[in-house]
Amino acid sequence: MASSLYSNAQHVDFESVLAMDDPGMVSMFEALMASGLRGFLGCPAIVYEDTLVDFFENASVHNGVVFSTVGGQLVEISEKLFSETFELPVDGLGDLSEMPKDAIFDARSIVSLSGEPINLSGRKNQMKMPFRLLCDIVAKAISVKAGSFNAITVEKFSLVTAVVCGVKMNWAKFLFGVLKKMVSTKSKQAKGFA
């Protein structure tokens, strides 16, 4: 399990990508920064695999707080600590079901390779290259679900829409919710987390 978490890890070196000679890519990464995810996605990719396995094997959620033990030490992660550590926005939508339909409609055309609105049950090859990469980033670093990364899902596209259309998201609430689902024994398998 930990090796799949490690191999799917996404670390974005923002200074490097913003210096690229590709206006489309630079624009997409600027939108990603503007969304407030820089601290989360730019976190150094230093992973201690055994520690990560230890954390997830021992983790549980009590009263909305993630508890675990790592190397015999108690680890307690609250939403507040999580948001402060990654400098995540705490204002905006906390649930993807609240995503404005007009933003999704606009994003379908903005990311389209052909200019025609993309099909939300299709493949990401319908998208311009910068948005294919964005789709990979949100799939691997934010939703962390197992499965095909080539397919467009409503969840992934809603995350892409939030970035592309500048929809204010409460990333702290959303991402902490993903973490809680990942460590909840009942939902690990049911939710398909990697």
Residue 190 domain-assigned (yes or no): no
Nearest to 120 by CA among 104, 140, 131, 98: 104
Residue 80 lies in a domain: yes
Taking only the tens place, the pLDDT of each residue in 1-22 is 343 444 444 556 677 777 788 8
> Does residue 186 belong to any structural domain of this protein?
no
* Beta pairing, strands 73-77 & 60-62: unpaired
Examine residue 75 and state whether it is found in any structural domain, yes or no. Answer: yes
CB 109 within 8 A of CB 157: no
pTM: 0.80
- Which range marks the domain in which residue 142 is found? 2-181
Query: Among 28-32, 56-60, 104-108, 145-149, where is mean pLDDT lowest?
Result: 145-149
Q: Flag whether 114 is in a domain.
A: yes
| Residue 95: inside a domain | yes
Residue 127 counted as domain residue: yes
How many structural domains does the chain have?
Answer: 1
pLDDT, averaged across the chain: 81
115 Cβ contact list (under 8 Å, min separation 6)? 109
